[in-house]
Chain A
Amino acid sequence: MSDPEADAPADTGFDDWVESLADGGRFLECANGHGSLPPRRVCPECGSTDLSEASLPDTGEVATFSEIHVAPSGFGEDPPYVTAVVDFGPVRLTGVVRGLSADEVAIGTRVRPDAERNEATGNRLVVFRPA
């Protein structure tokens, strides 16, 4: 198959959002200032349906991380790899860390978001690079 996603469900809102991370990224902001991630119709904090797009801060701080030694089959990433939850203030994102070994990552490490294609699955992949 030429298109690796031909049989996959459509994840349009999500895929577009991951793609946007290559250009700095965005998040959804409700009328009351709560941050969340697309695709979404309702603010999970307050129920507001008045959501607008805002730009992500340029960098975020690692909130927690793990070096994964046993990977799922077919995921594509060669273990060990580092997964992190990164705090960007209004929202937090989970992704794979690039350009830093597990020893070089700590809680508080500053990173910037980026987007890649997971070649094994064809899915978009959230990645973090050293800021």
Chain B
Amino acid sequence: MSGVRVAGVGLTPFGEHAGRTGRDLFAEASLAALEDAGVPRDDVEHLNYGNFMGALAERQGHQAPLMAEAAGLRCAGTRYEEACASAGVAVREAVRAVRSGENDVMLAGGMERMTNLSTAEVTESLAVAADELFEVRAGVTFPGAYALMARAYFDEHGGDREDLAHVAAKNHANAVPNEYAQYRREVSVEEALDSPPVASPLHLFDACPITDGASALVLVSEEYAEEHDLDAPVAITGTGQGGDRLALQDRPEMSGTPAAADAAAEAYDDAGVTSDEVEVAEVHDCFTIAEVMAIEALGFFEPGEGIAAARRGDTTREGDLPVNLSGGLKAKGHPVGATGGSQIAEMTRLLRGDHPNSDAVADAEVGLTHNAGGTVASAVVHVLEVAE
């Protein structure tokens, strides 16, 4: 089995790109990744591409061949859809393809265009990730579903809105120096608490923004990296995926995310590391409560302990385990189909030392990314390590 190196990463700035097409966004990220990798375009053997709501937002299905063309690739592509974990699963399948020996060079990533829709239309489009019959028809929005989980969490473990506001403040502070982040401004705990309600107990500053953007990674086999003398110090050493019942009502508990725990267990086992060895993480904080449940499911904190982690300082840039140094989905932005690739791009930059927040984890050798679909009916976890 071949090892897998991240040879290059590319991102568009996350934010509002009114007037730009999805194909233009993905082309920008892809060209940046190929240039970063120093890999000729013709060596790319397959495109693994993530997208969730393109058929609704851009009236464009069948996006993989379109995006391969936009990136100038003369190879086939496959679109992966797993709601907000679409790019995560696209990367995971690329890792598996390289490991199997089937491919030596893969382009993986994703794109989402969302700001051309109204807030109500985005709300409706994202709700498609929930159970149409048993949740959407009952008025459960995407924020509403996380609100149901947040209230269940508070009831079972305690915690309050102020704890969540500390998560928002932390991630906004981390986004300030990140040139790719949508909101590069600090948000105080008070400001987050005072923001208007979206779905009680969640308020506006508990939620990630509506975002356009693309991410791309060039993944290569160790053999290819050696042969071509690539500077690719970061390896993806573990990958895992977990699934759960789609509707919240059908899960034994609503205050945790077992799909993420399953994905993490598989990824840790695959990499041969434990949660204790992880020094930095990028987790799927589409809502502040999602970060809390993620850091518990990933084994960093016991159930009930994650809620105050940001408030205690454990997960801030000065803490023992900085979480979402990119700014997270919360402040960096969440173009849903691009997010999983973006997390791995940010983690690669953090571990290589060329991220504006790399100094917070200067000696880190083990990082983790966690990408979730819907209310974590699917989850993809990757372990990244500095290999040389």
Q: Is A19 on the interface with B (CB-CB < 8 A)? A: no
Nearest A residue to B118, CB-CB: A73
Q: Which has the most chain B C-beta neighbours within 10 Å: A67, A93, A121?
A: A67
Across the interface, A96 reaches (CB within 8 A) one of B123, B139, B147, namely B139
Contact B133–A96 (Cβ < 8 Å):
no
Q: Is B196 on the interface with A (CB-CB < 8 A)? A: yes
Q: Which has the most chain B C-beta neighbours within 10 Å: A36, A64, A102, A126?
A: A64
Q: Chain B, interface size: which category?
A: 35 or more
CA A102 – CA B147 in complex, angstroms? 13
Q: Is A44 on the interface with B (CB-CB < 8 A)? A: yes
Count A-B contacts at CB 8 Å: 103
Q: How many residues of A contact B (CB 8 A)?
A: 37
Q: Which has the most chain B C-beta neighbours within 10 Å: A92, A94, A95?
A: A94
Main secondary structure of the interface of B (DSSP, over half): helix
Contact A94–B141 (Cβ < 8 Å):
no
Nearest A residue to B124, CB-CB: A72
Q: From residue B243, how far is it (CB to closest CB) to chain A in Å?
A: 12
Contact A69–B254 (Cβ < 8 Å):
no
B254 contacts across to A, CB distance below 8 A: 63-64, 85
Contact A107–B119 (Cβ < 8 Å):
no
B72 contacts across to A, CB distance below 8 A: none
- Interface residues in A69-106 by Cβ distance below 8 A to B read 69-75, 77, 80-81, 83, 85, 91-96, 102
Given contacts A72-B141, A85-B254, A96-B138, contact A67 B199 (CB under 8 A): yes
Contact B133–A11 (Cβ < 8 Å):
yes
Contact B134–A94 (Cβ < 8 Å):
yes
Given contacts A64-B155, A67-B197, contact A83 B144 (CB under 8 A): yes
CA A43 – CA B254 in complex, angstroms? 20
Question: Nearest 10 A-B pairs (CB), nearest first?
Answer: A73-B120, A66-B147, A72-B124, A92-B249, A64-B152, A67-B200, A94-B138, A64-B148, A66-B199, A64-B151
Sample of 10 more A-B contacts, CB < 8 Å, known A37-B134, A68-B140, A75-B139: A63-B152, A64-B149, A66-B199, A67-B199, A68-B141, A68-B143, A70-B143, A70-B199, A93-B249, A96-B138
Interface residues of B (CB under 8 A from A): 118-121, 123-124, 127, 133-141, 143-144, 147-149, 151-152, 155, 196-202, 245, 247-250, 254
Q: List 8 A-B contacts (CB under 8 A).
A: A37-B134, A63-B152, A66-B199, A71-B141, A73-B124, A75-B139, A83-B138, A95-B138
